[in-house]
Amino acid sequence: MEFYPGEVHALLGENGAGKSTLCKILAGAYSAESGTIRLGGEEYTGFTPAQAKQAGISIIYQEFNLVPGLSVYENIFLGKERKKGAMLDRAGMIQETKDIFEQLKVSIDPTVPVRELSIAYQQLVEIGKAIHERAKILIMDEPTAPLTEQEVGILFDIIRDLKRQNITIIYISHRIEELFALAEKVTVMCDGRVIQTLRTQETSRKELVSLMVGRELGESYPAREGEGSDEEVLRVSHLNTGKLKDISFSLYRGEILGFAGLVGAGRTEVARAVFGADPKTGGEILVHGRARQIHSPADAIRAGICLIPEDRKGQGLHLHMSIRNNISLTQIKALSRFLLVQQAREQALIDEYIRALEIKTPSDRQEVNNLSGGNQQKVALSKWLAAKCDIMIFDEPTRGIDVGAKQEIYQLMERLRQQGKAIIMISSELPELIGMSSRVLVMHEGQINGELCGAEVTQGAILELASGGAKS
């Protein structure tokens, strides 16, 4: 593969295609078994992280490399603090940090601890760090995944700016639309091999998708049949928490209700409050018309509500436990008689879900950590399907998983809907939200700013409401 100065070169491929591995080799985090890297005429067989930095390669990982407790400028100068005599040159470092952000045309106070910044700003700090290191090559791994549409726009402007300064940008993303907006070239990878490098002007979305999966696959959503009923399954009225103001909505049997909004608008908070994961300061929750006191997730599960959390690795799964112990966890008490787990019943449950969701694994004793993102999500779903709740809240169910697995998740959600489950779907990917749900609530700053039904559900209308505007 070849990369040229001042270009944005995208890497595209399913999970496990080898994009991140390639980038980690370039950044010196992994070492290559064979092959060479030629950089500005010099040949290398491999880097250490320090050498990579020296050669001008910077990488921004999905999980940032920032020290949360330190301020912005301290993070940027971490390990290369400037001194004035025996003391740190604090004023100088702050000024230079300001200059960097001015160049990026954003305003961040250099003295604020990174912990207090939003994810988007933390990412900008990472970019600032790369600029400070005088990076010639900047690798970005899924930079837009945690960002809202607005923030993505700002990020793109910055990337175009960097391009003009002759910096090479290697850009990894799952979102194909972005590549057309940003990249000159795109290299498609599959199973650790380069499939093809294309100019974005000369290719199409459909071609890229088919190269990625090796088969023709239109990104499509299941046909929605027999939608909605007027049986109200869940009613939330005047729900308040520290962050949410007066949330009221109803959920009906056999529907997928979408929750849209910018990151930080409070969608996840609604889910967590309804599920009893966060304390409420007021409001009422009615399940099947009966008021329920929900103070903990255990209460919610008893009332038939479950939540598949957004943070799969941190909250949805026990990464170091086996698949079997993860799947049966919510039901393990019900599968027991006098404390003792009834192994045969447990095994039957596990086999059922591994088969039904086509979880690809050699053994159910495999640690979940060893599975791909898509299969991990399936384990998380199995765990909640086993709980047999009729109200299911999916928080970003397709984040970070590949195209094929996404399709399977969509199909599954549609099947559940047809079985009469009431589903809430939170998603930052508008096409997915529009494709899956017939009714969408749009949140803005802790409140529900509007409801869209049927034909009203369009990207434009959602974005308008999400940014605080009114329904047209």
Q: Does 371 bind another protein (CB under 8 A)?
A: no
Size of the site for another protein (CB under 8 A): 35
Q: Does 314 bind another protein (CB under 8 A)?
A: yes
Which residue among 37, 106, 387, 463 contacts another protein (CB under 8 A)? 387
Helix or strand run (H / E) with residue 448: strand 447-453
Q: Does 275 bind another protein (CB under 8 A)?
A: yes
d(CA 144, CA 153): 10
d(CA 12, CA 15): 9
Binding span for another protein by CB under 8 A among 96-104, 168-176, 320-328, 439-447: 320-328
**Among positive and negative, which fits the CA dihedral 278, 252, 388, 425?**
negative
Q: Does 344 bind another protein (CB under 8 A)?
A: no
Q: Does 95 bind another protein (CB under 8 A)?
A: no
Q: Does 427 bind another protein (CB under 8 A)?
A: no
Count the Cβ atoms, other than its own, within 10 Å of residue 10. 26
d(CA 397, CA 112): 33
Structure tokens at 29: 């985090």
Q: Does 383 bind another protein (CB under 8 A)?
A: yes
Q: Does 321 bind another protein (CB under 8 A)?
A: yes
At closest approach, how far in Å is the CB of 380 from another protein?
A: 9
Structure tokens at 268: 């996840």
- Would you say 370 or 459 has its CB closer to another protein? 370
Q: Does 318 bind another protein (CB under 8 A)?
A: yes
Residue pair 318/403 in contact (Cβ under 8 Å)? The answer is: no
Residue pair 126/60 in contact (Cβ under 8 Å)? The answer is: yes
Closest CA to 303 of 372, 208, 383, 236: 236
Burial class (CB within 10 angstroms; exposed 0-12, middle 13-18, buried 19+) of 86: exposed
- Within residues 24-43, the interface with another protein by CB under 8 A covers 28, 31
Q: Does 295 bind another protein (CB under 8 A)?
A: no
Which residue among 307, 379, 405, 409 contacts another protein (CB under 8 A)? 307
282 forms beta bridges with 240
Q: Is 217 left (phi over 0), alpha (psi -120 to 50) or beta?
A: beta
Sort strands 247-252 and 57-60 into parallel, antiparallel or unpaired: unpaired
Q: Does 117 bind another protein (CB under 8 A)?
A: no
d(CA 193, CA 210): 15
Which residue among 286, 332, 356, 463 contacts another protein (CB under 8 A)? 332
Helix ranges (DSSP H) in 195-266: 205-213
Q: Does 240 bind another protein (CB under 8 A)?
A: no
Which residue among 340, 344, 455, 470 contacts another protein (CB under 8 A)? 340
Q: Does 309 bind another protein (CB under 8 A)?
A: yes
d(CA 312, CA 376): 8
- Would you say 118 or 315 has its CB closer to another protein? 315
- Would you say 31 or 204 has its CB closer to another protein? 31
- Would you say 195 or 329 has its CB closer to another protein? 329
Which residue among 86, 87, 223, 339 contacts another protein (CB under 8 A)? 339
Q: Does 296 bind another protein (CB under 8 A)?
A: yes
Q: Does 410 bind another protein (CB under 8 A)?
A: no
d(CA 54, CA 9): 21
Query: Applying CB under 8 A, which residues contact another protein?
Result: 28, 31, 46, 48, 275, 277, 296-298, 300-301, 307, 309, 314-321, 325, 328-330, 332-333, 335-336, 339-341, 370, 383, 387
